[in-house]
Structure 1
């Protein structure tokens, strides 16, 4: 039986093991799936261990989406553009392929709720998941994008990506979401939260 796992820190909140195990059982795929708490400094060693013949692949979440990129043998065009992956496929010959399916997941999740396009969008955060949200926004036809961030200086790459995709982009730097900000969020037709679990609940 091949191994697979979701990698991240923290990872105890992840529903991936439940979802993947159910899917593999339904498909009759002989793959075990677990959650592994891992920090960026451990990425290189784990990538090496994936080549031992026992692994099918891994799902990758925060804060590891860019940490594994240098350790792949091949990257999809999306990962090359975004600089972040969420999936590692271990090929039959032991080589590692990095892909990012976050964009597809975001677009499809919105389609499930009947939203297939929007001209405006807002993204909370500017990290690796936000990069996928920017590309998803572009695929949905967004023309005007607002990034809500804690530090504008850390959003430089996100802004560059958005502009490269043809999005008119503005950045708002805030320390917390207050009543006025909540009102702005409520008026926006499309908002992606890429913040850590529970950070945007209020």
Structure 2
């Protein structure tokens, strides 16, 4: 845990990725610093891709206390770190970097925490059967989150078995039985205790167009999209009486965990939520 100072001593942090202009992280972290009285802390957004990141990372000075990583850097960073947490290692993705007092960089994954807390906000306390829609980077964290909620089996809906391979590897590492199904296998969605939709943009719209929910759904749904909200899938789910939550809740909780890791202080969740909601309302 880093040493924390509430003085004006400089502590820098940033969110990195490409594209990065849409990120809510500066709003959420900035609100946390203000509420915690961390006047010496700053948080910015830095546009970096896979080719430019390693040299930038190598040049960081001792004033840097934390990094938030988005795509495409969550895997690129791993070889540059001194260590990663067991969870980040299992998922194969790092979205947070902190430094030890000796200045050794450590990789963490707070996306899993964010997903778990988002699902719990619907009233879900545990799950046995899960369904992950999509097989990209977020799907791996989704499987880990479902494992954390007690899922013993997970269905991964994907366009192809090849795309789902890395996600199935994560499930195997965590002792979760996983199988692949087609994106049109909506019976798997209906049978799940928890459904996590990780598809982006048009792919999500195409998938949800086939989703028919007539009876109150058995499980809770997390759609990781957060703007605009609600998504078509979430609207169909909630209109039938199901519990649905969006990606903002996930983003909020993963950012709060980042604040804790970077500063050593409990995150002011209410202040961060208010700032994030205000920023989204203005988009």
TM-superposition CA deviations, 1:67-112 (whole Å, max 9, x none): 1011011211112222211100133433211111112121122222
Q: Does 1:47 align with 2:57?
A: yes
Structure having greater relative contact order (Cα 8 Å, sep ≥ 6):
2
- Normalised to the residue count of structure 2, the TM-score between the two structures is 0.63
Query: Secondary structure of 2:144's partner?
Result: helix
1:76 to 54, 60, 85: 85
**In the superposition, relative to structure 1, how do residues 43 and 115 fare at CA in structure 2: closer, same or farther (>3 Å)?**
same
- Structure 1 or 2, whichever has the larger Rg, is 2
Counterpart for residue 193 of structure 2: 189
Conserved in 1, the CA contact under 8 Å of 2:90 and 2:174? no
Q: CA deviation at 1:142?
A: 1.2
Q: Distance between the aligned counterparts of 1:145 and 1:3, measured in 2?
A: 39
Instruction: Provide TM-score, normalisation by structure 1.
Output: 0.86
Is 1:145–1:168's contact at 8 Å kept on the other side of the alignment? Answer: yes
Structure 1 portions without partners, runs of 5+: 175-179
Cross-structure match for 1:177: none
| Structure 1 CA distance for aligned equivalents of residues 116 and 104 of structure 2 | 29
CA deviation after TM superposition for structure 1 residue 162, in Å: 1.1
Query: Does 2:136 align with 1:127?
Result: yes
Tell me, in whole angstroms, the C-alpha distance in 2 between the residues paired with 1:24 and 1:197.
32
Q: How much does 1:198 deviate?
A: 6.9
Note the C-alpha offset of 1:6: 1.0
Higher strand content, 1 or 2: 1
The one of 33, 41, 51 aligned to 1:31: 41
Which of the numbers 52, 56, 61 marks the counterpart of 2:65?
56
Q: What is the CA–CA distance in structure 1 between the aligned matches of 2:51 and 2:32, rounded to whole Å?
A: 31
Count of aligned residue pairs for this structure pair: 196
Q: Indicate if the aligned counterparts of 1:56 and 1:91 stay in contact, CA closer than 8 A.
A: no
